[in-house]
Amino acid sequence: MLLVAGIATAEAQNVTVGLLGGMGKDPEATFKKLHDAGFKACQTGYSDNWTQKDADLLKELQAKYDIKISTLMCLTPNCRWNFTEGPSTIGLVPPLNRVKYLDLHKRAVDFCAMAGIPAMHSHFGFIPEEPTNELYPGFIEVMRDLCQYAKDKGVMIFCETGQETPTTLIRAIQDIGTGNIFVNCDTANLILYGKANPVDAIYQFGPLLKELHIKDGKYPTNPYYLGRETKIPEGDVDFPGVVKALAEIGFEGVMTIECELGGDNSEYIAKTKKYLEDLVKDIYKKHYKK
């Protein structure tokens, strides 16, 4: 399945609001739908069976429908999104299968280069909070290998937030040190994993923040499972505060609505898109009048 995040201009600086969803087996139909709805960019999920032919198709569709693919998402297989199995199954932190999964991410980087996609982004795992943890040096080494590989091909690497505190993620990025690794901040994940307030995290990330996944949720109440996702703005994310923080750090980029609630959410997504675009227009306008 091809995942796509469509982005519509919010007319406030260069901030855009987008949508993450499934494309199915007909990429052109989805690109046409995005184009007809006024979208100008998208995110695409990586499939390991893609070839140069698929890359050429995506380049062709970008040109035909005037839609730019901003990032390629690559996830390791068999991830368990909980606190008990997640640390041993997500990303490149677990040593088991690390070499195989490094190769998977490098193939995703190769596809970025083939298709003209500027960045590859992923959940890289539960980065240890203690830099003296025995898993930390190996993780930094494998990430430095991946990031240098991507840098040599002109591709950026984006780390999605969630499994670690912002401080730990920033430390890891600094220790990797290749200069082409940045942050995709998921506002709800920071809450669902109980790791941070997203408003505070945005200020911490500052210029490292290149894109966002926008969703809402509640903090965990069961220490074995993530918190519960909710519709926007029914959870614990302070979206006016998020947008204000983005304006204050000078963010110009993509805010992509990610909805994993199931069912037909078209009405909710349309309402949320307007809610976010209105926030961006109002808050950025006030900020840049100062």
Half-sphere exposure of 104 (CA within 13 A, CB side): 19
Burial of 127 per CB tally in 10 Å (0-12, 13-18, 19+): buried
Give Rg (Cα) of the chain.
18
Helices (H), the chain: 27-36, 52-65, 86-89, 98-115, 135-152, 166-176, 187-192, 198-205, 239-248, 266-288
Phi, psi of 119 (to 5 degrees): -145, 150
Tokens of 161: 């937030």
Report the distance separating Cα 269 and Cα 21, nearest Å: 11
Q: How far is CA 286 from the centre of its chain?
A: 27
**Ordered DSSP codes for 244-261:** HHHHHTT--SEEEEE--S
Q: What is the pLDDT of residue 18?
A: 73
Burial of 57 per CB tally in 10 Å (0-12, 13-18, 19+): middle
- Number of domains comprising the chain: 1
Strand partners, 229: 217
pLDDT over threshold 50, residue 214? yes
Domain containing residue 75: CATH number: 3.20.20.150
pLDDT over threshold 60, residue 94? yes
Tokens of 135: 């898993």
Question: Global pTM?
Answer: 0.92
- 184: nearest Cα among 160, 203, 208: 160
DSSP state of 51: -
Give per-residue pLDDT as tens, 108-152: 999 999 999 999 999 999 999 999 999 999 999 999 999 999 999
Give per-residue pLDDT as tens, 159-188: 999 999 999 999 999 999 999 999 999 999
Cβ atoms of 281 and 12 within 8 Å: the answer is yes
Cβ atoms of 7 and 44 within 8 Å: the answer is no
Q: How far is CA 173 from the centre of its chain?
A: 16
Segments forming the whole domain that contains residue 92: 3-288
- 93: nearest Cα among 141, 30, 24: 141
Q: For the residues 211-231, what does the mean pLDDT come to?
A: 95
Q: For the residues 212-240, what does the mean pLDDT come to?
A: 96
Band (247; pLDDT cuts 50, 70, 90) = very high
| Among the ranges given (3-7, 104-108, 174-178), the one the predictor scored with the smallest mean pLDDT | 3-7
Longest dimension (CA), the chain: 52
Q: Position of tokens 């614990």?
A: 236
CA dihedral sign of residues 208, 213, 218, 223: negative
Report the distance separating Cα 39 and Cα 257, nearest Å: 13
Report the distance separating Cα 123 and Cα 89, nearest Å: 11
Cβ atoms of 75 and 102 within 8 Å: the answer is no
Pairing mode, strands 216-217 and 229-230: antiparallel
